[in-house]
Structure 1
Amino acid sequence: MKTTAIGLMSGTSLDGLDICLAEFEKLDNTWSFKILEAETISYNENWENRLRNAVNLNSEDLLALNSEYGFFLGKKVKDFLTRKNIQTIDLISSHGHTVFHQPQRKFTLQIGDGRAIKLETSIPTIYDFRSQDVLMGGNGAPLVPIGDELLFSEYDACLNLGGFSNISFKKENQRIALDICPVNIVLNKIAQNFGEKYDENGDLAKSGTIDFELLEKLNSLEFYHLQHPKSLGIEWCNENVFRLLENIDSLTALATFTEHSAVQISKIFNENELKKALFTGGGTYNQYLIEKIKAKTSIEIIIPDQRIIDFKEALIFGFMGVLRMNGEINVLSSATGSLKDQSSGIIA
């Protein structure tokens, strides 16, 4: 039986709302998928600023934004379906936009109330995929390994280069996953000093000079010496990374942090003797970063077609919604560190 689902993803780098409509089918315990339509809707300046500053809101204003953003998501889905002339779909699966992520304190918050999406669209909506895992002692991240396991099993590893880089791979018959290091959440912020939203192709970083003393400080951060499972959030960057980059020339900061990202990513490949990896996410377009990774590891890097690069996370969140509606496991404890595998997400 085929199920059509929309996956919604808003990443920490705030480059827009990813909408991915896909068809999923299970035959003989094997899942397949087909992306039918997908696009990224850029945030206007108002929404970008509101989401960026949500972490500073008082509780009342944050609750109001949670509702308003939910209705915003619902309207964008309705508009998407109208423009694509799509009459019916089975469900919407929304990641929301992360404001807080502190699993050590047993909470995580992705705003965009799924009930508002359901009210706006009249389509069953699954949302809040992370909180249950955090309450069960997990990191609430990364969640996409279930999709890597069931939809992309032909690769030894799946690496996402987004706001943060995260990876999943098979080890001793278990799907291991972890956040590796910040990527675009740092690089994009530095690029803004040049009036750019991001460092296109890594050209700015390439023209800069690596500060090896700064590089050593970055590589020495405690997080990189912790065992998996582990995850990162903006709070960690504020406390650890941006503090080190204060008063550093922007070109030097870009060059050094690009090198740092390549070092940390390559280390995971080399330590786990991985042979073939699928690369996705916006950072895949950073040719300088990719060259740096290639120079530090012998792994075969597979860069898929553009829709997989751009929409793999939204695709997998759509898939997670399908699994949730079927009552099947959609969060792996081997990836998040929670008490057990689970079927997570609130159904509206």
Structure 2
Amino acid sequence: MSGTSLDGLDLAYCHIWKTKNGWDFEIKQSKSIAYDKTMESQLKNAIYLPATELLAFHNTYGTWLGKQAKAFIDQHHLEIDFIASHGHTAHHQPQKGFTFQIGSGQHLAHECGKKVICDFRSKDVALGGQGAPLVPIGDQLFFGQYDYCLNLGGISNISFQKNGQRLAYDIGLANMILNHITQKINLSYDKNGAMASKGQINNLMLQELNNLEFYRLPFPKSIGFEWFVEKVLPIVDNSQDSIENLLHTSIHHITEQINVQLKLHNIKTKSRLFVTGGGALNTFLMDTLQDKLGATVKVITPSNTLIEFKEALVFALMGVLRDVEETNCLSSVTGAKKDCSGGVIYLPS
């Protein structure tokens, strides 16, 4: 799994099995590989590449993924059924009928010598869906005991059960904006939100972020890096303020929008909000979120392993569901014409 926050590649060795009541899992091994500056820059700027260069990078990145997977498998002497790979989203424009995750499945399969299942989003988009978010199938099958599941990766998205069906959508910003701000001073991220906690709200910036049109759109809806570049970067980069104040303001924006969305769905007393993704490790962000939500909602964070590797786990589940030809993309979430079992299978030579 490689997410929009660009913090690195997540690998998880998962045991997934069917039970009487559904599915269960265990994350047996895990590893994060931080991107070096070159790879981070290549992935960040892939959106600007002409088609021929993008396809070439798609192949070389797939080969690189295969090398990392093989090293992980060899290091832990793993026996695996297949690799489920999300790749890295370079383009996501479902309104135009396409989404593209780089990391060629065929090159990955050749390099590590294992069966690969990838390209989980395209089938849903071809059926008229957003192709995102896809994690809600895991929320439904693995974490259905919680009232709401919130993922704070580069983007924030939420998932919940309503009227007998799973609903989910992208809320808006999360680590993408925070990491962009810290990179102005050559820091990858603000550990525990320490700098953000020292800042003050920039009211003009907060108002401009809260007024973004995306927040007023009905769901299903999703965003990608293109939206961030076009709509958010000008607001952040034109706000002449300290790094602490920019971070502090961004966290208040992120948590305000989460609060707004939860209130739309008539939160019942003592609801439980299950939070994963890198943002769940940001202490100031979590404290601010709990303050915004008040006593009505209890914010719950699991173990660090599950916080960091939940998305990788869910794409492993999606691979399992694709392998046994069961639904892994929910039309109630994406707005597609029907549920489907997304993913393309590649075999090594």
Greater mean deviation of Cα atoms: 30-39 or 240-249: 240-249
The partner residue of 1:55 within 47, 51, 55 is 47
- In structure 2, what is the Cα distance between the partners aligned to 1:156 and 1:10? 27
Is residue 252 of structure 2 the alignment partner of residue 259 of structure 1? yes
RMSD over equivalenced CA pairs, Å: 1.1
The AA in structure 1 aligned to 2:72 is F
Query: Does the 8 A contact of 1:324 with 1:330 survive in 2?
Result: yes
Query: Does the 8 A contact of 1:208 with 1:255 survive in 2?
Result: yes
Cα offset, 1:110, TM superposition: 0.3
The AA in structure 1 aligned to 2:58 is N
SS in 1 for 2:87: strand
- In structure 2, what is the Cα distance between the partners aligned to 1:51 and 1:194? 20
Cα offset, 1:339, TM superposition: 0.6
- In structure 2, what is the Cα distance between the partners aligned to 1:222 and 1:49? 28
Is residue 300 of structure 2 the alignment partner of residue 308 of structure 1? no
Alignment-derived partner of residue 272 in structure 2: 276
Query: Does the 8 A contact of 1:269 with 1:299 survive in 2?
Result: no
Gaps of 5+ in 2: none
* 1:169-248 matches, cutoff 5 A: 169-248=160-239
The AA in structure 1 aligned to 2:190 is D
Q: Deviations over 1:193-244 (max 9, x none)?
A: 2221111111212222211222122111111111111001111111111111
SS in 1 for 2:10: strand
Alignment-derived partner of residue 293 in structure 1: 289
The AA in structure 1 aligned to 2:300 is I
- In structure 2, what is the Cα distance between the partners aligned to 1:169 and 1:158? 6
- In structure 2, what is the Cα distance between the partners aligned to 1:30 and 1:162? 26
Is residue 336 of structure 2 the alignment partner of residue 338 of structure 1? yes
Q: Deviations over 1:73-113 (max 9, x none)?
A: 11111100111122x21011000001110000001110001
The partner residue of 1:39 within 7, 12, 31 is 31
Aligned length: 339
Greater mean deviation of Cα atoms: 77-86 or 246-255: 246-255
Alignment-derived partner of residue 66 in structure 1: 58
- In structure 2, what is the Cα distance between the partners aligned to 1:120 and 1:84? 18
Q: Deviations over 1:20-74 (max 9, x none)?
A: 1111111225111111101101112221121111112111111111011111111
Q: TM-score, normalised by structure 1?
A: 0.95
Greater mean deviation of Cα atoms: 247-256 or 156-165: 247-256
Q: TM-score, normalised by structure 2?
A: 0.95
Greater mean deviation of Cα atoms: 167-176 or 23-32: 23-32
- In structure 2, what is the Cα distance between the partners aligned to 1:31 and 1:247? 48
Query: Does the 8 A contact of 1:19 with 1:314 survive in 2?
Result: yes
Structure 1: 4+ residue segments shifted above 4 A: none
- In structure 2, what is the Cα distance between the partners aligned to 1:231 and 1:19? 25
